[in-house]
Amino acid sequence: MTSIRIFISSVQKEFAEERRALFDYIKKDPLLRRFYDVFLFEDLPASGRRPDEAYLAEVDRCGIYLCLLGNEYGRADTDGRSPTEREFDRATAGGKERLVFVKGNDDSVRDQKVLALLRKVDGQLIRRRFGSVPELTAEVYLCGVEGAEREDPLRKRG
């Protein structure tokens, strides 16, 4: 069985702990590791490729786009969009399964561009909030189990 690639998207510095925790959790969980593989941009080796070409190519290769949003928008490009928003738009255009998790409940401390991105997300899909790494991994586990049930070839035969 081919594993489904999960692309984890976020402002890297803001979510360094959560990104690594999700990677480790999915790789070590007995069920999730059977169905999923995880991509983190920071694990790519140095290369002559432009960063935007590399991360957008990885979004194209993934089956699931998993986005973490917080207070920071990230560095905007010449079009005024952050890598996270560009990745979200690419995943949307590619018809990818998109999972969005928002850290915290206080929207008043978020960058205005994060709030605009949240409005875009809310118009397209259901998102979940989390406050800690254990809450995030629990939410991701539920999504992973539900996705595994859909992909399980034994279930498809029944």
Residue-level pLDDT at 156: 43
* Residue 51 near residue 40, CB atoms below 8 Å: no
* Residue 134 near residue 101, CB atoms below 8 Å: no
At residue 155 the predicted structure's pLDDT band, cuts being 50, 70 and 90, is very low
Q: Distance between CA atoms of 40 and 6, rounded to whole angstroms? A: 9
DSSP element (H, E) containing 122: helix 112-122
* Residue 68 near residue 8, CB atoms below 8 Å: yes
Number of residues that make up the chain: 158
At residue 1 the predicted structure's pLDDT band, cuts being 50, 70 and 90, is low
If you search the block for the tokens 């998790």, which residue do you land on? 101
Q: Looking at per-residue confidence, does 110 or 158 come out higher?
A: 110
At residue 150 the predicted structure's pLDDT band, cuts being 50, 70 and 90, is confident
Kindly report, residue by residue over 11-64, the tens digit of the pLDDT.
999 999 999 999 999 999 999 999 999 999 999 888 999 989 999 999 999 999
Phi-psi domain of 110 (left: phi exceeds 0; alpha: psi -120 through 50; beta: other): beta
**CA dist 37 → 17, 45, 70, 111, 114 (Å):** 18, 18, 24, 31, 28
Q: Distance between CA atoms of 101 and 53, rounded to whole angstroms? A: 25
* Count of structural domains within the chain: 1
pLDDT cut 70: percent of the chain above it: 94
Range of the domain at 30: 4-157
Mean pLDDT of the chain: 92
At residue 158 the predicted structure's pLDDT band, cuts being 50, 70 and 90, is very low
| CATH number of 43's domain | 3.40.50.450
Kindly report, residue by residue over 60-100, the tens digit of the pLDDT.
999 999 999 999 999 999 999 999 999 999 999 999 999 99
Residue-level pLDDT at 145: 86
> How much is the pTM?
0.92
